[in-house]
A and B are shown apart, each in its own frame.
Chain A
């Protein structure tokens, strides 16, 4: 992974939802090999912030820049370099786990079925590769979503409550994957309600109502 030191920066981001001023001038600068842990009570705009950072939501004020350039100028290229996992696993229940990965990751980069199976094996759901997502448990679906992030080979990980539905071994596995990603030169933004036990450069951003 090769990211210039500029990394990812968002500055004075303001978002209104109707009359509600959800994000009130939030700023942060995350460099490669850093992890930003976003926390805060429910309804304080954590998911909204992730959606702004990944370019799905345009802030009323403020800017997001990647590698020193505003993401509005090269949105498609920027989005090709990021992996976003929303708080729902975002799987088609009629497709198998492998097909879900193939159609999602295949749009980002050329990838073989073996590589996808390897990603599923790494997150512990290799045996479920050929099962329809509808028969998987919530935890297994979460692991498949994690395998999708892994297989995208992206520099930026944006994870919205990735620990939800995971058992103890799953949570440990996720922490290990996050550690390996950050150590490998990537950067990550993680929304989580508990402290992250990951031995790497963690910075915290607490959102308040």
Chain B
């Protein structure tokens, strides 16, 4: 009996989660990086508490973007290196479904994990608890968008030896709007002004990448598989 797309999606997500939890160091590396970078800024700048709050949104977002980038390289590369990507591509499930499932699983273990630990960082940076909700929502939208942008970059750079450098060069410029509007949303939440505009823009970017990036990433992957 053939396997439906829904079942295949669940199976691939299970596979990715299983692989991630077998390598906990890979799972925790971006999170620890996120925590360390956000701690280094206040130490290096020796700021007053009130000034810390001013730089907090920017520091939080830059650290979140960089730590998300750390794990993007392995999205398709490890499967390509051991030949399992070919097996997935030949599974009869369609490459787009595989790309979507793998990217969703990647976001669960990197993006979502960042969102979950962000209140710890926010507390350390003296962000008021009232702004947590907006900060976590903006990070959710931002990391999801970044995972999709990263999937295109990761698909294009599989075959390259120093692909992670090129991957950063491809993804970071595209992620600039995320940084601007994500930090703006958090900053406005801290100052108590309306965050709607920035959040809507982030949501629009998220919908845009979620709908188009799977096809772009599939095309990139198909080229590199050849």
Within 8 A of B (CB), among A32-65: 54-58
Which B residues are within 8 Å of any A CB, using their own CB? 1-3, 7-8, 11-12, 14-15, 18-19, 22-23, 82-84, 86-94, 225-226
A80 CB within 8 Å of chain B = yes
Rounded to whole Å, the gap between the CB of A86 and the closest CB of chain B is: 5
Assembly CA distance A58 to B86 (angstroms)? 14
* Residues of chain B lying within 8 A (CB to CB) of residue A82: 90
Q: How far is the CA of A94 from the CA of B92 in the complex (A)?
A: 24
* Stretch of A99-107, A121-129, A170-178 contacting B (4+ beta carbons < 8 Å): A99-107
Does A200 lie at the interface of the complex (its beta carbon under 8 Å from any beta carbon of B)? Answer: no
Does A107 lie within 8 Å of B88, measured CB to CB? yes
Q: What 9 pairs between A and B have smallest CB-CB spacing?
A: A80-B92, A90-B83, A107-B91, A94-B22, A103-B15, A88-B83, A79-B92, A110-B1, A79-B90
| Residues in chain A within 8 A of chain B (CB atoms) | 54-58, 76-77, 79-82, 84, 86, 88-95, 99, 103-104, 106-110, 148
Is B94 in contact with A107, judged by CB distance below 8 angstroms?
no
Q: Are B92 and A107 in contact (CB under 8 A)?
A: yes
Is A104 touching B84 in the complex (CB atoms < 8 A)? yes
Complex CA–CA separation, A54 to B82 (angstroms): 18
Chain B residue contacts of A81, Cβ below 8 A: 92
- The reply to whether B82 and A92 contact each other, CB–CB distance below 8 Å, is yes
Known contacts A90-B82, A109-B1; decide if A95 and B19 are in contact (CB<8 Å).
yes
Q: Please name the residue on chain A nearest to B8 by beta carbon.
A: A107
